[in-house]
A and B are shown apart, each in its own frame.
Chain A
Amino acid sequence: MTRRRIEPLVWLMFSAGGVLAAVFLPILVLLFGLAFPLGWLDPPSHEHLRAVLGHPVTLVVLLGLFVLMLVHSAHRFRYTLYDGLQIKKKRTVAVLCYGTAIVGSLATLAVLSVAA
């Protein structure tokens, strides 16, 4: 029955992650994915990024942002495989999707503790 109790929490995290992805990702992809690597804008100096990351608020925000977006992504992809691609092995799909989100969250913790 634990699965039943976890389900509403996952939906809540899915929604929170969806809002955060919708609001935070467009500018982040535009800046860090395209504008800085392609030289449309001067990339921030290493020192500046280090200073931004050194602030505890940044770390808390990034941790929440990444974990919720990973859960959002895993949950949505799980249903994409069920409904979109008609995959029947439901348990395997769920374990793989949420497992990836958990591994990603642990990686986030590790990276943030190094970057701080």
Chain B
Amino acid sequence: MTPSGGRTTDLRLYRPRVSTWWWTRKRTYFVFVMRELSSIFIAWFVAYLLLLLYAVGRGEAAYQRFLDWAASPWVVALNVVALAFVLLHTVTWFSLTPQAMAVRMMGRRVPAWQIVAGQYGGLAVVSGFLFWLVTR
């Protein structure tokens, strides 16, 4: 900003430096950052499923090659870690929902535990359906 006098004034704000590793000092901060990092593994698994679909589209031999590649140790290790992060995402997302929105039914606010329970119900139904669809 230039005042009418033509001289510039320095605007100095106090900005305390935050260390890159601020979140390692407290357990709750650590869990928060781990929860946020679940995004990487969600992206990884979308990519993995795309590779699977691509292989299925190319034919039976490509599908078999995909399954062999998926059984290699580093892919399995990555998917074990991905499963842990995905479960962390699911649990934290479900427990945050009642805080993010107020659900009203028949003029009453639905208690938080019922919203959480409803979501686990949805998880069970979708999981059951997908299991049936894929393995039948």
Q: Which residues of A contact B (CB under 8 A)?
A: 15, 18-19, 21-34, 36-39, 41-44, 46, 48-50, 52-53, 62, 66, 69-70, 72-77, 79-80, 83-86, 100, 104, 107-108, 111-112, 114-116
Is the Cβ of B40 less than 8 Å from the Cβ of A115? no
What is the distance, in angstroms, from B124's C-beta to the closest C-beta of chain A? 10
Bound-complex Cα distance A15 to B97 (A): 10
Q: Give the residue of A27, A73, A84 whose beta carbon is less than 8 angstroms from that of B46.
A: A73
Additional A-B contacts beyond A28-B130, A32-B52, A74-B43 (18; CB < 8 A): A22-B119, A26-B87, A26-B127, A32-B48, A32-B70, A33-B82, A37-B76, A38-B71, A46-B63, A62-B53, A66-B50, A74-B39, A76-B36, A86-B18, A86-B22, A104-B50, A108-B50, A116-B57
Judged by DSSP, the binding face of B is helix
Q: Which of these, A33, A53, A80, A86, contacts B39 with CB under 8 Å?
A: A80
Give CA–CA (A36, B131) in the complex, Å.
Answer: 12
B11 located at the interface, meaning its Cβ lies under 8 Å from any Cβ of chain A in the complex: no
Chain B residues close to A by CB (< 8 Å) = 18-20, 22-23, 33, 36-40, 42-43, 45-50, 52-54, 56-60, 63-64, 67, 70-71, 75-76, 79-80, 82-83, 86-87, 89-90, 93-94, 100, 119, 122-123, 126-127, 130-131, 133-136
Among candidates B48, B56, B80, B93, residue contacting A50 with C-beta atoms closer than 8 Å:
B56
Q: Which residues of B contact A32 (CB under 8 A)?
A: 48-49, 52, 70
The secondary-structure label for the interface of chain A is: helix
Q: Is the CB of A31 within 8 A of B131?
A: yes
Which residues of A lie under 8 Å from residue B46 when comparing CB positions? 66, 69-70, 73, 104, 108
